[in-house]
Structure 1
Amino acid sequence: MFKQSIIAIIAILALGLNLVNAQVQSTEKRYIRIGSLQSHFSAYGSERAWNNRYYEGLRWPAEYPMQDNSVIKRFWIGCEDFKDELGSSYEKYVIYFAASFVDEALFPMELKQIAKFEPPYVYVDGNNITAPYMDDIDEINPNIVPDRIIKNVVNTSMGLTLKRTIYAFSQQYHDNYYIKIFTFVNTGNTDYDDEIELPNQTLKGVRIAWGTRYSVCREGATVIGGPQQWGKFSWTTRRGEDYAAHATEQITLNNPIVDWLRCGFQWAGQGDVNTVIDNIGAPDYTGTGRLKAPHHAGVAILHVDKSPDDHSDDPNQPVVLGWHAGDKRPDIQGISKPNEPQMIQTYNTLLSGSPYMGLGGNERFDEKYMESNPVPYTVHNDAGGTNIWVAYGPWDLAPGDSITIVEVEGVSGLSRTMAELIGKRWKKAYDDPNDNGPFELPNGTTTDDKDVFKNEWVYTGKDSILLTFSRAKRNYDMGFQIPQPPLPPPVFQVESGGDLIKLSWAASPSEGDPDFGGYRIYRAVGKPDTVFNEIFACGKGTDNPEIVHSYNDVNAVRGYSYYYYIVAFNDGSNNQTDANPHGSLHSSKYYTRTTEPAYLKRKSGTALNQIRIVPNPYYIKASAREMQFPKEYDKIMFYNIPGKCKISIYTERGDLIATIDHNDGSGDEAWNSITDYRQVIVSGIYLVHFEVTENIYDPETSELLFKKGDSITKKLIVIR
């Protein structure tokens, strides 16, 4: 009942709000970067992931590179017996949501992102690393419940206006999905201005459909099929065939994973380029074995209006939920040069639940075809891959009528830690043909087959994505009133020092709340895309019960790179519902995570003969490099150098290969063992020349330590 009232409110708002009389560029996007799932949303109402370099979007987990899972969403609306504003009649009229249709059939009116609070400012050594993202936010509204809301309005030449609202949350149990509310209103407005061109036309037989394709994931493609593919090797499945029988059931913490939710999702299958290994999970067989594609990405349907007059959920919608060949579709060519036969074909097939060219179905694509066709796209031979195919309708919409559809899109799967552990064990057996386990499976039994072991762990992602969808449904059914974490500190500063790294922060606005717990600081070594470990906590339930706003990291080691984030946490007393597991909640690490390193930086050296090169010799062999600087295997450090100097690196025969201008006043400088021509150095003897570029004085005694032009040359030995 509560859910129905929420839908009614949404519908009323959709009808009552005046459309913004403005034009938004089709290329405009808004990015959500607050949780483990991060992505962009486009002004014209649908997303195509190609950014002229790679397929971008739906990054999960977002702190690691190349985790993009998005490719394209094909989105159509259609109706019957339509007459446009010029009086031309169409048996079927169909619009395709793509950038090429903007200004012709699509008219973006609004795209904005609303935040619940001002994004925190994060500084590393005075550099504001959050500055590039401040334009993400258009408006601050402390009264909203989600951390972010994106509002998108698009008029169409059909007079059917799309009002799209995306909700994003940073609470730790709800930060890997987006809830999307699509409201389609018969406004009669067919362009950018506020004049109503079709004031009296009832839109008959309105149907809505999309085919969504996921490339799961960009990094995994390097193992499965070379460069990133376009969902070519993704398997598709569905659940919820018996949704109508369970529609009134409540999902609880005792039974949080159910397979009756209406949903479809995809994961990476076997490629046809690399057939050396079983590719499920995309194990890095030439490296550590880490599973590079344990991801499961998809959509679930949370609500579909029965009719313009009945906003309760229709358990018999959508009319189709299954799969379709990725690029097999009629080409309607555009509205300025309409191809009505193709519109009729599109309406009668993709929008109505009948597969175009017979290349689609309402069943579980994987279960029907995986055994006979290990490479997914060979089922239909469409190299464009396979879509999750969803279609809704039909409805008749009189002027002012609206229909609302609510979906959730999410990504989940094995954690990075588990992907490393499972992949490492698989790789050990891959390298040793005599290693037959036993390998422990997720259910506690064992197998002697390394691929069965790997695959069963990857397939736990099916439960993970179903759990994600169930949490989203509980969130929606609760009217988005999930328990909230405290707000993060509004300012977080990290300052490199000589003997310590200083961290300080401003008080969280939630610090005065009765359930406020305190703060926790996490640190990573070597790079920001790795595991962070807790190094400090203060407040309730910690060894430091007094709440403070600064911490000195005195355990940092000279020459290592350090990354940090801070979270505010509560005592969990507000987290007692069935929305998610009970216990303490914390602010999102993505608000304060540093992506630039802090170091221990010593004072400028005092004599040229004190300069040290570390390591020296430098071992190129991987096993030796791992013992030098953690996760920075290419790093060579120059210690005790003058605060202002030029470092020139030569081969033994005198060829200059790299130059570094050191001017930060410290006694440390790093080199990544790459030449200025982007080549990796080879074994041999190198000469490193240090030349002072300014007179340098002792800050305490004013004694001249280095005179401009002073220099010294040191040897660096590189061994393979």
Structure 2
Amino acid sequence: LYAFVAGQNLDEFRSNVDSAINRAIMPSKLVATPDSQSVTLSWLKSISPDVIAYKIYRSKISGDGYTLIGQTETNTYIDTSVQKGSLSYYVVSGVTIDGRESKYSNEVASAPGVPPKSPSNLIIKLDQSGKPLLQWSKADDNEVVGYKIFRNSTGSAPWTAIATVDKTTQSFIDVNTYDGNTYYYTIASINVYNWVSEFSNIVSIKLKPPFIESASSLKDVKTVPQPCSSKVKFINLTGMATIKVYTIDGKLVKTIHHTNNTGEEEWNLLNDSGVPLTSGIYIYHISAFKPEETDKFVTSGKIVIVR
């Protein structure tokens, strides 16, 4: 084990040495995976070659009251003595060849049991504002405490969890969608031990492309002021459109979804990462679908930023 430590005085130096050694022998990234009868723990081994074993602790309360339940030379441990349906908290420590024990790893909570039953009869339609509205039948399971809503653009794994609602809720409106896109959804039940059920049936919906009134409307788009320093406003837009801003050499730096059904969109001159753009000339490209949904109106122009 090699480490570089320093301090203002001898006590601080010794403290820094102890801290460096502890970090080297402490296990990390503890994960708990329950099944119907037990909880399997796994973690990343300590980086120090002096560590020869790991101690596993369990408690009924978070952050305190840990009791030693086992020791292993590997980086996995199966707790078969844990009470079924009872939430337990776990930590792990590293033990060196000379008996030194590290501080505890991160804490995880888990409980053995059976996953909750799934919700059923998931359906989808548009609400009054044109956003996807999900509705379902609740799971026939008294231990269910809520439902997770998942979404993606393919209809197959992986799925992204976009919301969690309580057990009394049987509908959800997805307001974070954009016209012209297709979205797939599924939901799952969760219980008090954070077990997640199997997914429900999958539903999908294709949102209509943005509607604009005439082909000439995008031709009148302007940006004010020009040049600009802190913000710029696009005027004479259609009700809905997509604005993309590029550097002079063609690198996309900002995508703006104009969905407010007005003719204006203000931009604070930050890129997609939230970083202010530097002075220079940028190219904007604006597109919007025709009512027939088969073609687009497009226009482009320049934005001059002077900081």
Q: TM-score range by the shorter chain?
A: 0.3 to 0.5
Question: Could you state the TM-score of these two structures normalised by the residue count of structure 2?
Answer: 0.42
Higher helix content, 1 or 2: 1
User: Under a length normalisation based on structure 1, what TM-score does the superposition of the two structures give?
Assistant: 0.22
> Going by fraction, where is strand more abundant, 1 or 2?
2
